[in-house]
Amino acid sequence: MSEDRDILFALVAVLAPFSLLSVGGGSAIIPGLQHQAVDVHHWITAEQFVEMFAVARAAPGPGTMLSTLVGWKVAGWTGALVATLALMIPSALLCYGVFRLSDHHSDKKWNRVLRKGLAPVGVGLSIAGSMTLFRLVGGGPGAAVITAISTALLFWRPNMSALFVLAFGALLTVLMRMVI
């Protein structure tokens, strides 16, 4: 029993600092996490890590849910829960704290300046994000057509359910791959 608890503590000790280092969506911590889980703690083998990485990418949710699988492997359901929380809570608390702090002063001039200044950076990041995602899922000309169709749908029909557009994209992709 105490051994179980030691493992849970070790999971938190490894993952909580990574939470605060996971800048840029989380892929930055993957090499460090592999080093800790495979080489230092011998929780999993290198092959298992690669497998978990692939599963976390294929499943819905943030890529950092890889930690859930590591926790699951070493300590079952409790491990999965502890690992997920250890990786999510520190960064979430930090984000909440900083956001509330600045939101509290939302009528001050510096806050308006901050929001006005950050807005174009946010737009630039969503352009970069589109490009990265497109490359990541191996998008070709067919994918570009499907993206363009869904963009047009979303643009001309702002009230259309997003779920419908996502399902439509999935259906078109399935049909396209059956034909080609």
Partner 1 sequence: MLNKDADARAGRPIDHRDDGPTIARLVLFCLKVGLMSFGGGLSGWLYREFVQRRGWMTDEDFASSFAFAQMMPGPTITNLIICCCSRFTGSGGVLACIIALLIGPFFAVLGLYTVYGTLSHDPLFQSVSDGVVFAAIGMLMIICIRGVRRTIAFPPGMAVIAGTAFCIGVLHWPMLPVVLCFAGVSIVMAWRTL
CB of 63 to partner 1, least distance (A): 7
Give ∠ CA 10-15-16 in degrees, rounded to 5: 105
**Which DSSP state fits 180?**
-
CB of 179 to partner 1, least distance (A): 12
CB of 2 to partner 1, least distance (A): 26
CB of 35 to partner 1, least distance (A): 18
Residue number with CB closer to partner 1 (42 or 116): 116
CB distance 7 to 78 below 8 Å: no
Least Cα distance to 53 among 43, 32, 41, 67 occurs for 67
| End-to-end CA gap in the chain | 55
Residue number with CB closer to partner 1 (2 or 60): 60
With 0-12 / 13-18 / 19 or more C-beta atoms within 10 angstroms meaning exposed / middle / buried, residue 29 is: buried
Residue number with CB closer to partner 1 (34 or 68): 68
- HSE (side-chain half, CA atoms, 13 Å) at 97: 6
Residue number with CB closer to partner 1 (2 or 169): 169
